[in-house]
Chains A and B, each alone.
Chain A
Amino acid sequence: MSDTTDSGPMLAADGTPLKESLGRALRRQKIRALALIAPLLLFVLLTFVIPIVSMLVRSVENQIVSDTLPGTIAALSEWDSTQGDAPSEDVFQNLFFDMFNAAEAKEHTKLGTRLNYENTGLASLFRTSGRSMDDIGEVFQDAIEDADARFEDGAFWYEMMSGAGGDTLLADRRTRWSALTGDNMSGDVGFAPSQDIAALLPITTAAYTDFAIWTAIEDEDIVAEEDPWEAVYAALAVDLRDPSRVAAIASYSGAGADALQALTATEMPDLTFTEAFADLDEDWVSPDVWETVQVYSPNYTPGYFLNSVDRELTIDGVEARPENEQLYIKLFGRTLWMSLIITSSCILLGYPVAWLLANLPVRTANVLMILVLLPFWTSLLVRTSAWKVLLQQQGVINELLVWLGFVDDANRLILMNNSTGTIIAMTHILLPFMILPLYSVMKTIPPTYLRAAKSLGATNWTAFWRVYFPQSVPGIGAGSILVFILAIGYYITPEIVGGTDGVFISNRIAYHISRSLNWGLAAALGTILLVLVLALYWVYDQIVGIDNVKLGG
C-alpha cells in the first residue's frame, strides 16, 4: 500500500498521477464520441456539403472562355477597347485556330451559349461561324496542295512533322485539349513533334500536334494515315508569311525540306483572318462583341452575381441591365414579401389553435393534435393537389359558389395561377410548422399567471396582452423563422398553383437548371438564397437553439 499523505501529486490506482489519468480517460471519451460521429459527418460532408460548395464555386466559375479561346484571350489582352475599333489581325488569327479546335470538339456552341447570357446574339454568331472554319482553312489548303501535291498526303505530313525533342509542346497542347473538352486526353498519340520543325514552323507544328492528339485519342485513328485538318494548312501559310522563317526554310535539311522550299516560291493567298471573319459575320469586327469577350475572359467572374441582382459587367464597370430584362430583384422582393405574408397568416391562424391545444385537457388536446399532425404527415404533393382541386376555375370552391348562386358562372373567381393561390396553399402547408413550436412554448406557460392577473383586476385583454402574450413571443419567433425559412425556398407548390405571378426565386433557379441551362446564374441565385437562409438560421439558432428543434410535438 502506498502512502498518499506524502507531498506530491495524487495518484490513481495504477500509479499514474490522477490528473493525467483523468485527462487520458477524458481524451478516450472524446475520441470515442468522435469516432461514433465520424462516419455520418464524413457522409454528410461528402454527399451534401461538397455539392453545396461546388455550387458556390460554380457561381463565380468562368473558365470556359479561356479554355475555349486560350490563344485569343492572350492576344486580346493588348487590345484597347476604348479605341472603338476591332482587335488586331493577331487576335483574329488566334481566334481562327482556337475556333477550329473548338469546332472539331463541338465546344464552340457552349462558349456561344455562355457569352449569349451577357450579350444576346453571340450564340448564333459562334454557332454559324464554327461551321465555316473549314472553309477558311480550305482556301490555304487548296493553294498549298496546288503548289506541291505531296502536301495532300497524310503520311508525308507525318514524316515531316515528327521527330524528337518536342515533348513539352505535345504536353502543352494536350493540356489545352483537356481544358477544352473536359476529358483528360491521356493515352498514346503515336506522334511527337520534332524540335527542329517546331523551331522552324511554330504555328504549323502546334496546329499539327493539335490534329495529332485529337486524331489519336478522340477519333482513335492512326495519325500517319489521316490527312491533316485545314487548320494545319492555314498555319503553314501563316508561318510562310514571316520572311525570317522563309529564310530559315531555305537552309533547312530535315524531312520534306524540298517541298517546303518549293512552297516558299509560290504565291500564297493573301486572305487575312480579319477579312475572313468579317466575311462570315460583320459582328466579328464589332468592338461590342470583343468587349464582352474581354470582360468575361478571366477564370472567375462576378458576372453571374451581378446578373442575379439585375446588373451586368461591362467594360466601364457595373451597370444596370436594360429595363425589360430586370427580373431578379423584383423576384427576390416578391419571394420575401410573399413569405412574409405566408408567415403572418400562419401566425394569425396558428396562434388561436396553439392556445386552444395548450389550454385544453390533455386527452382532448391529443385528439385535436391529430388534426394538426395529419396534414403535417400527408405528402406535400397530396396537399398541393388538394389545393389544385379546390382552387381551379372549375374547382370545388368555385363550383360551390356558383351552385349557391354567389358567383356568376361566367365570372368565376381566379384563385389559382396567381399569388393568391400560392399564399393560400402554402399557408395551409406550413401551418403545422407554426402551430407545433407555438404549442410547445405555450405548454410551458403556467395557466395560473393569467388567473393571477385577472384576480388582480386585469381585464381579459390586459391579462392576455400584458401577461400571456409576452411569454409566448419566443414561440412566435421560432415558428415564424421556421415558416419563413421553409417558405422562401419552396418550389413545388408555387410551381403548381403559382402560375406566373405566384412563383418564387426557387422556380427561377429550377428554370435555369432545366430549361435555359444557365447553370452559373442558377448557382448564383442559389447562393444568394442560401446566404439569406443561413442568416435567418443563425437568428433562429440564437432564439431557439438548433438542438431544441422538435418534431411532431
Chain B
Amino acid sequence: MSKIETTLPRPDLFRFTMPLTAALAAIFGFVGGNMVAQPWLGAVIGAVVGCAIAWVAETNLDKRTAVRWGVIAILALAGLVFGNLGTAVSGALIGAVLGWAAYWLANSDYRSSVPIYYTPGQTLWHNTFKFICGLIFFFLVAPLIPVMWLSFNAEDFFTFTPEMLNFQAEGYSLKHYRDFLGTDEWMVPLKNSLIIAPIATVISVSLGTLAAIGLSQSHVPGRRAIMAILISPMIVPLIISATGMFFFYAPLGNWMEANLGLSQSFVGFVKVILAHAVLGIPFVIITVTATLVGFDRSLTRAAASMGAPPVRTFFQVQMPLILPGVISGGLFAFITSFDEVVVVLFVGSAQQQTLPWQMFTGLREQISPTILAAASILVAVSIMLLATVELLRRRSERLRGLSPA
C-alpha cells in the first residue's frame, strides 16, 4: 500500500488568515500603543499592519523566507524611526512573530501535527495546549535570562538601566565578573566551596557505592529499614538536619579542638565536610542502585568462574559497567554540597564561608550585582554538569542495551 498523499485544504484569506493575523497584530499594537497612552489607536494600526502582512503572505506563499525577513526589517525600521534601538529590537521581534504567524496560518501549518480527521475545535485545542506548554517552558527557563543579562550591567543595580535596554555599549561592562574573579570576598568562598564539595563527594561516593552494591545483593536482612535510614538525609528537611547538626557538631567540634589539638579552622572544615557528605549519600545510593538493577549478575559469576578474586572482579568487571551511575551519583552529591547553604550556615563558621553562603548573605542584604555574575557562572557550570549527566545516562543505556537482560 502506498502512502496516500493528503493535501490539506488551505484556509480562506478573508475569513481565516487575515482576521487572525490582524487580531494578533492588534494585540501587539495595543501593547505598543499603551506605551504612549494610545492603546486603541495602536490596536487599529496593528490590525491594519496585520491585514497587510496576511495579504502579502497569501500572495507570496513560496517566498516565505524573503517576506518574513522583509516584515522583520520594516517593523524594526519603524521602531527605530519612532523610538530608539530598544524599540527597534522589539519591532524586529514582533515582525518575526507576525511573519511566522501569517505563514503558519496561510499555509495550514497549524494542522500539520494533528490527524487529518480533527475538527477545527480539536485543532484549536491542540494548538492552544501547545501554546500553554510553551508558556510553562518559558516560565521554567526565562527567569534565568535576566540574571545573565543583568550580570553585564555597568551600574551597581539589580535593575535594567535605559542604556542596557537601548543596547548601548556604555550600559554594559564586565566589571562584576572582574569583581567576582578579583576580590577575596568572592574568591575565598569559591576556594572553600572547591575544597569542601570534592572531599564531601569522594566520601559519599566511596561509601555510597559500596553500600549500594551491598544493598543490591539478593539477601539483605532489613533492607527496607536500612534503605530508609540511608535515604533519610534527603527526606528530612534541610532546616531540621541543620538544627540537629548544629546541636551535635558544636560540642563535637569543641571536643576535637580541646582534646585532639586541632585548629579551629580545620575542625570547622571537617564538620562541614562530614555534614555535606551525609547529605549527598542518598543521591549516590539512589543512582547507583538504579544502575545496579540493570547489571547482569552472570558477568561477576563468569569472572569468578575464571578465577578472578572478588576485588578484581569488582574493579575490572563491575566497576566499568556501573561507572556512569557512580559518576552521575557523584555529580548529584557534588552539586548538593556545592549548592548547599542552610547546613553550612549553621555548622560552619566564617572561615568556611562557601559560595552559596556568600550569595545568600549578599541577597539578604542586597549588595552588588556581583551576585548575578556568580549566578551566571554557576548556570554555566550547571549546564556543563547537566550535559555530562545526560551523556553518561545515554552511555549507560547503550551499555545496558548491549548486555543481555
Q: Which residues of A approach B to under 8 Å, CB–CB? A: 26, 29-30, 32-37, 39-41, 43-45, 47-55, 58, 349, 352-353, 356, 368, 370-375, 377-390, 392, 394-396, 399, 403-406, 428, 431-432, 460, 485-486, 488-492, 495-496, 506, 509-510, 513-514, 519, 522-523, 526, 529-530, 533-534, 537, 541, 546-547, 549-552
User: How far, in whole Å, are A3 and B357 apart by their CA atoms in the complex?
Assistant: 75
Report the minimal beta-carbon distance from B23 to chain A, rounded to whole angstroms. 19
In the complex, are the beta carbons of B236 and A533 less than 8 A apart? yes
- B393 in contact with A552 (CB, 8 Å): yes
**Pick from A377, A379, A388: contact of B158, CB under 8 Å:** A388
The answer to whether B239 and A510 have CB atoms under 8 Å apart is: yes
CA distance A404 to B37 in the complex (A): 9
Per-residue 0/1 for B339-368: is the Cβ within 8 Å of any A Cβ (1 yes, 0 no)?
101100110000000001001100110000
- Say whether B186 faces chain A, with CB atoms less than 8 Å apart: no
Please tell me which one of the listed residues B34, B137, B345 contacts residue A368 in the complex, with CB atoms under 8 A apart.
B137
> Once the chains are docked, how many angstroms separate the CA of A509 from the CA of B243?
8
Contact assessment for A33 and B217 in the assembled complex, using a CB-CB cutoff below 8 Å: yes
Determine the chain B residues whose CB is within 8 A of the CB of A396 once the complex forms.
146, 159-160
Asked if B240 and A537 make an inter-chain contact with CB atoms under 8 angstroms apart, the answer reads no
| Contact flag A58-B34 (CB < 8 Å), given A48-B232, A374-B382 | no
User: Is B239 in contact with A386, judged by CB distance below 8 angstroms?
Assistant: no
Q: Given known contacts A55-B240, A496-B360, A549-B231, what 7 new A-B pairs fall within 8 Å (CB)? A: A47-B278, A52-B241, A386-B143, A392-B159, A396-B159, A492-B360, A541-B228
- Residues A394 and B243 in contact, CB atoms below 8 Å apart: no
- Shortest Cβ distance from B138 into A: residue: A371
Complex: how many Å from CA A360 to CA B307?
49
Answer whether A385 and B371 are a contact pair too, CB < 8 Å, given A48-B278, A54-B248, A547-B289. yes
Do the beta carbons of A491 and B363 come within 8 Å of each other? Answer: no
Closest to B125 in A: A460
| Segment 153-172 of B: residues with Cβ below 8 Å from A | 157-160
Q: Is the CB of B289 within 8 A of A428?
A: no
A52-B244, A55-B244, A382-B379 known; A389 vs B226 contact (CB < 8 Å): no
Assess the A372–B372 pair: CB atoms within 8 A: no
Q: Name the A residues within 8 Å of B382 (CB-CB).
A: 374, 377-379, 382
With both chains docked as a complex, state the minimum distance between the C-beta of A29 and any C-beta of chain B, in angstroms: 5
A167 to chain B, nearest CB (A): 27
CB distance from A240 to the nearest CB of B (A): 43
| Interface residue from A390, A488, A546 paired with B146 (Cβ < 8 Å) | A390
Measured CB to CB, the closest approach of chain A to B152, in angstroms, equals 13
User: A426 CA to B146 CA in the complex, in Å?
Assistant: 18
A405 CA to B176 CA, complexed, in Å: 31
User: Considering the complex, which residues of chain B in the window 359-397 have a beta carbon less than 8 Å from any beta carbon of chain A?
Assistant: 359-360, 363-364, 371-372, 375, 378-379, 382-383, 385-386, 389-390, 393
For B275, the chain A residues whose CB sits under 8 A away are 47
**In the complex, the 9 A-B pairs of residues with the closest C-beta atoms, listed nearest first:** A489-B237, A36-B214, A51-B248, A51-B244, A40-B211, A55-B244, A506-B239, A33-B217, A37-B214
Which residues of chain A are near B218, meaning CB under 8 Å? Answer: 29
Residues of A within 8 A of B150 (CB): 389
Chain A residues within an 8 Å CB radius of B346: 510, 513-514
Q: Which residues of chain B have C-beta atoms less than 8 A from A537's C-beta?
A: 235
Question: For residue A34, which residues in chain B have a CB less than 8 angstroms away from its CB?
Answer: 214, 220-221
Report Cα–Cα, A39/B215, bound state, in Å: 13
B296-351 interface (Cβ within 8 A of A): 328, 332, 335, 338-339, 341-342, 345-346
- Please pick, from A54, A388, A488, the residue contacting B244 in the complex, using a CB distance under 8 A: A54
Separation of A52 and B240 alpha carbons in the complex (Å): 8
Contacts of B211 in A (CB 8 A): 36-37, 39-41
A352-B231 contact in complex given A382-B144, A382-B378, A382-B379, C-beta closer than 8 Å: no
B122 touches A460 (CB 8 A): yes
Q: Which residues of A contact B338 (CB under 8 A)?
A: 379
Tell whether, in the assembled complex, residue A381 and residue B375 are in contact, meaning their CB atoms are under 8 Å apart: yes
B404: shortest Cβ distance to chain A, in Å? Answer: 23
Across the interface, name the chain B residue whose C-beta is closest to A405. B34
Decide if A552 touches B217 in the complex (CB within 8 Å). no
Task: Establish whether residues A552 and B389, one from each chain, have CB atoms under 8 Å apart when the complex forms.
Answer: yes
Interface string of B229-259 (1 = CB under 8 A from A): 1111101111111111111110000000000
- Whether B144 lies near A506 (C-beta < 8 A) is no
Q: Does B140 contact A (CB under 8 A)?
A: yes
Inter-chain contacts of B277 with A (CB < 8 A): 43, 47
Q: How many A-B residue pairs have CB under 8 A?
A: 285
The answer to whether the Cβ of B283 comes within 8 Å of any Cβ in the partner chain is yes
Q: How far is the CA of A29 from the CA of B213 in the complex (A)?
A: 12
Q: Kindly list chain B residues whose C-beta atoms are within 8 Å of the C-beta of A35.
A: 214
Most central of A33, A54, A382 by chain B CB within 10 Å: A382
Q: Are A489 and B332 in contact (CB under 8 A)?
A: no
Contacts of B31 in A (CB 8 A): 404
Contact A428 B143 (CB under 8 A): yes
Are B237 and A405 touching (Cβ within 8 A)?
no
Assembled-state Cα–Cα distance A530/B229 (Å): 14
Q: How far is the CA of A519 from the CA of B244 in the complex (A)?
A: 10
Q: Which residues of B contact A533 (CB under 8 A)?
A: 235-237, 240
Checking A43, A52, A54, A389 against B147 with a beta-carbon cut-off of 8 angstroms, the contacting residue is: A389
Chain B residue nearest to A383 in the complex (CB):
B143
By a CB distance below 8 angstroms, the chain A residues around B342 are: 491-492, 510
If A388-B158, A549-B286 touch, whether A39 touches B210 (CB-CB below 8 Å) is yes
CB nearest to B222 among chain A residues:
A34
A140 to B90, CA, bound (A): 89
**Among A40, A51, A390, contact of B143 (Cβ-Cβ < 8 Å):** A390
B266 contacts the other chain (Cβ, under 8 Å)?
A: no
CB-defined contacts of A58 to chain B, threshold 8 Å: 247
Residues of B with C-beta under 8 A to A349? 136, 139
Indicate with 1 or 0, residue by residue over B112-133, a CB within 8 angstroms of chain A CB atoms: 0000000000100100011011
A residues less than 8 Å from B217 (CB atoms): 29, 32-33, 36
A356 to chain B, nearest CB (A): 5
B35 within 8 A of A: yes
Q: How far is the CA of A496 from the CA of B289 in the complex (A)?
A: 36
CB of B372 within 8 A of CB of A33, answer: no
A368 — nearest CB in chain B belongs to which residue? B137
Q: Is the CB of A488 within 8 A of B230?
A: no
Query: Which residues of A are found within 8 Å of B208, using beta-carbon distances?
Result: 40
Question: Min CB distance, B285 to chain A, in Å?
Answer: 8
B237:A381 contact, CB within 8 angstroms:
no
By a CB distance below 8 angstroms, the chain A residues around B224 are 546
In this complex, the member of B143, B277, B346, B360 whose beta carbon has the largest number of chain A beta carbons within 10 angstroms is: B143
Give bound CA distance, A382 to B141, whole Å: 12
- Residues of chain B contacted by A485 (CB below 8 angstroms): 235, 237
Q: CB-nearest residue of chain A relative to B271?
A: A47
Closest to A27 in B: B219
Q: Does B20 contact A (CB under 8 A)?
A: no
CA–CA, A382 and B356, complex, Å: 9
In the complex the two chains form, is A395's CB within 8 Å of B239's CB? Answer: no
Q: Which of A32, A36, A404, A486 contacts B34, CB < 8 Å?
A: A404
B141, A371: Cβ atoms closer than 8 Å: yes
CB distance from A418 to the nearest CB of B (A): 17
Tell me, yes or no, whether B72 is within 8 Å of chain A by CB: no
The interface residues of chain B lying within 8 Å CB-to-CB of A389 are 146-147, 150, 158-159, 372
- Contact call B241/A374, Cβ cutoff below 8 A: no
List of B residues within 8 angstroms of A55 by Cβ: 240, 243-244, 247-248
- What residue of chain B has the Cβ atom nearest to residue A489's Cβ? B237
Q: Is B207 in the interface zone, CB < 8 Å from A?
A: yes
- Interchain CA distance A297-B114 in the complex, whole Å: 75
Q: In the docked arrangement, what's the CA distance between A534 and B234, Å?
A: 12
In angstroms, Cα B205 to Cα A40, docked, is 10
Could you say which residues of chain A place their CB within 8 Å of the CB of B335? Answer: 377, 379
How far, in whole Å, are A362 and B192 apart by their CA atoms in the complex? 41
With A39-B207, A381-B363: A551-B283 Cβ-Cβ less than 8 Å: yes
CA distance A486 to B237 in the complex (A): 7
Shortest beta-carbon distance from B34 to chain A in Å: 4
**Which residues of the other chain, A, contact B232 by a CB distance below 8 angstroms?**
44, 48-49
A445–B346 Cα distance when bound, in Å, is 45
